Amino acid sequence: MKRSFRWTAFILMLSCLLVSASACSSESSSGSGDGKGKEKETVKIGVLASLTGALESYGKQTKQGFELGLEYATDGKMEVAGKKIEVVYEDTETKPEVAVQKATKLLEEDEVDFLVGSSSSGDTLAVLPLAEEYEKIMLVEPAVADSITGSEFNPYIFRTARNSSQDAIAGAAAIAKDGVKIATLAPDYSFGRDGVAAFKEAAEKLGADIVLEEYADPAATDFTSNIQKVIDSKPEYLFVIWAGANSPWNQIADMKLQEKGIKISTGAPDIAALSAMEPLVGMEGFSVYYHELPDNEINDWLVEEHQKKYDEVPDLFTPGGMSSAISIVEAIKKTEGDLDADTLIDTMEGMSFETPKGTMTFREEDHQALQTLYAIKLEKKEGVPYPVPVLIRELSPEETAPPIRN
């Protein structure tokens, strides 16, 4: 009996040791299954973008810029700190509920180490809580709503895109003066409302009077009633904030606002939208990016390589996609491959990195990238079928630094 008991005890003890060893071996082989630590041999990045729908062109630009950014930052090797880089793209369809579904899939099934996106502020705001829940860094690009790095901020969020306040400071600098009457027109969702709020704050500080805030259905194709309200308010300027293919420019021209003494000002949009701005030649406003505005080696590389690969010049949001990719690679280089979120946050706060728009810096307080914008004038250029943004002057990262709102 004693012998049998001892033998049974020995078998049980051996089984326990084998189970423990197996568990340890499994944990060791997986290394950093949760993305925390240096053992993981792959960096996985999930990119959320509007690859279909109203903002499809923005998603395309971000994707192309991101791919070129990884190529540039890794010298074409698609490796950083000894780790291979894998990218998974998901289409949000510019629908917040779809964005949440796709982000959850990237985090749970693909087990990505970083999220990037999205084209729409609405999509992005819906996804922000997931970055915090899953403790993964999210690079926001190109969504601009102030609330992303403001009231809805969490420490896992970093934004290479400029925000509405940065746009507003640049836009206000172009037209706002003491006593000037300005009306605004924007789409009725977070992008438009945050943009107007930021513009109003910046313009009123310069002494201007905002006489009308008009918001239109973001899916509208007829802006007649909105534009008539602008005319009735009798402003000296109409400042327009818009995104998407269904822009109001043709109807603004048809209703002859400039002939009624109302000057138009806006941010110079992407090339497709510039094609509809022929009536606005001579307008002074601002630009986030046009390929001829920045003067630096990275932008030269981007323009040349984009032309080779896609047979066209980079557009409005291409450099943003590139900048977000560069920032990820630079952060991983600095951590020597450590993908722990807390380590990355400590590294990225205050981090400066070079981009097609010059030096960007993630502000420590809200992780908003401070960056250069451009004061421009729309002019005709021989051989170009749309009005071209021509540089008046660069607006420095310090000059366009937005208020801290978190």
Does 361 lie in the same domain as 217?
Answer: no
Rounded CA separation 182/211 (Å):
6
Q: Considering the domain boundaries, does residue 107 fall inside one?
A: yes
pTM above 0.85, yes or no: no
Residue 34 has pLDDT above 80, yes or no: no
Q: Are residues 222 and 354 in the same domain?
A: no
The predicted model gives 25-54 an average pLDDT of: 68
CA dist 44 and 16 (Å) reads 35
Considering the domain architecture, whether residues 385 and 364 belong to the same structural domain is answered as: no
Domain that holds residue 354: 42-162+294-371
- Does a structural domain hold residue 122? yes
- Percent of the chain past pLDDT 90, that is, above it, reads 78
Residue 174 lies in a domain: yes
Residue 23 pLDDT > 60, yes or no? no
Q: Is residue 28 part of a domain?
A: no
- In this structure, the answer to whether residues 180 and 304 fall within a common structural domain is no
Structure tokens belonging to residue 400: 């366009």
pLDDT at residue 217 tops 70: yes
CATH of the domain at 47: 3.40.50.2300
For residues 97-118, average pLDDT: 98
Please provide the average confidence, as pLDDT, over all residues in the chain: 90
What's the domain count of the chain? 2
Same domain? 86 vs 155:
yes
**Residues 149 and 171 reside in one and the same domain:** no
What pLDDT, in 10s, does the model give residues 245-295?
Answer: 788 988 998 999 989 999 999 999 899 889 888 888 988 899 999 999 999
pLDDT tens-digit map of 342-359: 999 999 999 999 999 999
183: CB partners within 8 A, 6+ apart: 210, 211, 212, 213, 214, 230, 233, 235, 237, 238, 239, 262
102 and 204 share one domain: no
Residue 403 maps to a domain: no
The reply to whether 279 and 379 lie within a common domain is: yes
Say whether both 327 and 242 belong to one domain. no
pLDDT for the residue 6 = 44
Residues 211 and 103 in one domain: no
CA–CA gap between residue 281 and residue 248 (Å, rounded): 16
Q: Is residue 36 part of a domain?
A: no
The verdict on 258 and 316 lying in the same domain is no
pLDDT of residue 125: 96
Once rounded to an integer, what is the mean pLDDT over residues 208-237? Answer: 96
Using CA atoms, how far residue 161 sits from 146, 361, 399, in Å, is 11, 11, 16
For residue 371, name the pLDDT band (cuts at 50, 70, 90): very high
Residue 223 lies in a domain: yes
Does 116 share its domain with 237?
Answer: no
State the pLDDT at residue 40.
66
Examine residue 32 and state whether it is found in any structural domain, yes or no: no
Residue 191 has what pLDDT?
81
